[in-house]
Amino acid sequence: MKLTALANHQHVLFKAISGSHAYGLQHKDSDVDIRGVFVLPKPLFYGLSPTEQISDPTNDIVFYELHKFVTLLIKNNPNMLELLRMPADCIQYAHPLFEKLNPRLFLSRRCKSTFAGYAASQIKKARGLNKKIVNPMKKERKTVLDFCYVAQGGGSIPVRQFLEQRGLKQENCGLVNVPNMQGVFALYHSEEHAYSGIIRGKKANDIALSSIPKGETPIGLMFYNANGYSVYCKEYRQYWEWVERRNESRYQNTLTHGKRYDAKNMMHTFRLLHMAEEIASTGDFSVRRTADRDFLWEIRQGVFDYEELVDRAAEKMEEIEELFDRSDLPDTPDEERLNDLLVELRANFYATSGS
């Protein structure tokens, strides 16, 4: 089934403008995201490959089949729950049956993890972004040699410096394990013997060991920080993958306000926290932000320092934890009741639509 099949609303239960426009947090360059719910025609529903979701190539328009929609609602998915409380000015189409999907049938203590828990993960993500912005990594990748050190006096110096001071080349060096000293190697040098070098080329991911003739005297003891190199490789890969994937306009906005965090992401983190607080304290929530709009918009504009927002978020999550502990929300939605509702909705839709 393709998106064009929903153009005349024949199979549509609900369609609305979602995202920033629904929250009341849009600006002149905000995308217009469309989210909706559809019901598969009988032949496709009873067939071998029922369609769960339909979207355009950019995912600006996404429709969920009724079964998947209700399943996600039972899991207290925030994006699905929002569709049940969309502002009237964002609703483009609503079938009368859609009113039967009351959010109070779905809201449960699961919202603590799906709303506040997800917000906590975004704070962690913000910390990672902060680290990337504050500590950008050079494109030239370090090698194993950069994690090797030679004992000298009461301390150590980088092996590159050690060799340079003596006019030696790493290619003419040989390493041998030192018994009972993990990561420590006896370092030899010879232009006569064909040693393996400390590493075999710049792309080597480990040190090289050599066979050393008897009677040779080491020129020092070298320590290889294998764990440090492993951590560096992971962070290097993650950093440059982030550079390739990042939304450049949002990144430039981050640089412009100078507060070292993704302002849009942080704004939505607090929106989720505030919605979790509403659910725990009232058993309901608002999609259109009014009372906290100014605060959220200030976050988007980079008014607050990164550390201040992280501290505020931590305090808010503690408050939410306490609110959910005292809440009279059920642990989980009543799945038996909702199963009956799903059957009823589909049967009535087919009866009235004739498809």
pLDDT of 249 reads 55
pTM of the prediction?
A: 0.67
Q: Where in the chain is the domain with CATH 3.30.460?
A: 1-106+333-355
The class of domain 1-106+333-355 in CATH terms is alpha beta
Residues 144 and 229: their CA atoms lie apart, in Å, by: 7
pLDDT higher than 80, residue 177: yes
Sheet holding 155-158, edge to edge: 155-158, 148-152, 220-224, 184-189, 173-177
Instruction: For 42-57, write each residue's pLDDT tens digit.
Output: 988 888 888 999 999 9
Instruction: For 67-82, write each residue's pLDDT tens digit.
Output: 999 999 999 999 999 9
Q: b or e along 97-122 (b: 16 or more beta carbons within 10 Å of the residue's beta carbon)?
A: bbeebebebbbbbbbbebbbbbbbeb
pLDDT higher than 80, residue 307: yes
Residues 27 and 267: their CA atoms lie apart, in Å, by: 13
pLDDT higher than 70, residue 248: no
Residues 38 and 345: their CA atoms lie apart, in Å, by: 12
pLDDT of 253 reads 54
Cα angle at 53 between 48 and 57, to 5 degrees?
Answer: 120
Residues 243 and 255: their CA atoms lie apart, in Å, by: 14
pLDDT of 135 reads 60
Q: Which of 47, 43, 34 minimizes the C-alpha distance to 7?
A: 34
Measured in degrees and rounded to the nearest 5, phi and psi for residue 49 equal -130, 75
Q: What number is the average pLDDT over the span 230-239?
A: 90
Q: What is the residue-averaged pLDDT of the chain?
A: 90
Instruction: For 16-41, write each residue's pLDDT tens digit.
Output: 999 999 999 998 878 899 999 999 99
pLDDT of 7 reads 86
pLDDT of 130 reads 52
Measured in degrees and rounded to the nearest 5, phi and psi for residue 177 equal -60, 140
Q: What number is the average pLDDT over the span 270-285?
A: 96
Which amino acid, residue 217? Answer: T
Sheet holding 33-38, edge to edge: 53-55, 61-65, 33-38, 12-18, 91-94
pLDDT of 251 reads 53
Between the two ends of the chain, the Cα-to-Cα distance in Å is 14
Q: What number is the average pLDDT over the span 236-254?
A: 67
Cα angle at 60 between 57 and 61, to 5 degrees?
Answer: 85
pLDDT of 209 reads 96
Q: Which of 161, 159, 141, 142 minimizes the C-alpha distance to 150?
A: 159
Q: For residue 232, give every residue at least 6 positions away whose Cβ sits within 8 Å of its Cβ, in sequence order, or none.
A: 142, 147
pLDDT interval class at 5 (50, 70, 90): confident
Please state, as a whole number, how many other Cβ atoms lie within 10 Å of the Cβ of residue 343.
10
Instruction: For 189-210, write each residue's pLDDT tens digit.
Output: 999 999 999 999 888 999 999 9
pLDDT interval class at 303 (50, 70, 90): confident
Instruction: For 315-351, write each residue's pLDDT tens digit.
Output: 999 999 999 999 999 999 999 999 999 999 999 999 9
Residues 73 and 333: their CA atoms lie apart, in Å, by: 9
Q: What number is the average pLDDT over the span 110-115?
A: 95
pLDDT of 126 reads 61
Answer for the pair 85, 239: CB distance below 8 angstroms, yes or no.
no
Looking at per-residue pLDDT, the higher value among 259 and 224 belongs to 224
Instruction: For 83-107, write each residue's pLDDT tens digit.
Output: 999 999 999 999 999 999 999 999 9
pLDDT higher than 70, residue 127: no
